[in-house]
Amino acid sequence: MIQDNVKRVMEEIARAAATSGRKPEDITLVGVTKTVTAVQAKELIDAGVTNLGENRVQSLLDKYETLKDEPAWHLIGHLQTNKVKYIADKVSMIHSVDSLKLAEEIDRRFQMAGRTANILVQVNVSGEESKFGIQPEDAFPLMESLSQLKNIQVCGLMTMAPKTDHPDDCRKFFYGLHKLSVDIRGKKYDNINMGQLSMGMSGDFREAILEGATIVRIGSALFQ
């Protein structure tokens, strides 16, 4: 059943990619395993999903014990500064950087681990109070500071759209994140890459891809 879900989601990703003039391989599917066991996560890997995402450090560590480096791990949820040390040698990308203080700790811990951290800056483009992420206008000074950190590679931006029954309503937020990434690129900060846009979940990944997503984070549609 997981296999069927993966096939269906991958087909839908390919269709949305084609509609937006891109290839299926231009979009990375991150399978979000926060609601399932390591055994089910392993089924996802066997079905061809090689990037897995967890929103909490502890649940990532739990699954890491079983699955080790078999998938590439993505930390997609809010990250507390004091927990960076547990994941520095394990994750391939952190999607949720929303302060300089957090980035400085990531820089420090990844240096100790002898690695460069691939990070995305999380932006709150919808203005919802409950959501994490920086305000769009704060992205510019933050990028300037991040460009000085030697063990951090900024790879792009991430956002979460508000929950809605009408995913079309989210297109303006996805468009907003895309536009912000273009504006940041225009500033030509040293060492800041805007190649990745992590946006779109089970309910709205098609709309996100149409607006330029390169990474979609999908959980429930794979495990329903």
Among 146, 155, 201, 209, binds ligand PLP (CB under 6 A): 201
Distance CA 56, CA 80 (A): 10
176 binds ligand PLP (CB under 6 A): no
HSE, CB side, 13 Å, CA atoms: give it for residue 140. 8
Q: Which tokens hold the place of 203?
A: 């309910």
Q: Which of 29, 44, 60, 77 binds ligand PLP (CB under 6 A)?
A: 77
Asked if 32 interacts with ligand PLP (CB under 6 A), we say yes
Angle between helices 139-146 and 171-186 (to 10 degrees): 50
The distance of closest approach from Cβ of residue 202 to ligand PLP in the complex, given in angstroms and rounded to an integer, is: 3
Interface segment toward ligand PLP; rule CB under 6 A; list 65-73, 133-141, 188-196, 213-221: 213-221
Which backbone phi and psi does 220 adopt, to 5 degrees? -55, -35
- Reference 110, options 128, 88, 126, 95; nearest CA is 88
Interface map 150-169 toward ligand PLP (x if CB under 6 A): ----------x---------
Q: In whole angstroms, what is the distance from residue 167 CA to residue 129 CA? A: 20
Element spanning 94, H or E? strand 91-97
Using CB under 6 A, pick the residue from 28, 51, 55, 214 that binds ligand PLP: 55
Our finding on whether 34 is near ligand PLP (CB under 6 A) is: yes
Q: Which window, 81-89, 111-119, 185-193, 211-219, contacts ligand PLP (CB under 6 A)? A: 211-219
Query: Footprint of ligand PLP on this chain (CB under 6 A)?
Result: 32, 34, 55, 76-77, 160, 201-203, 217-221
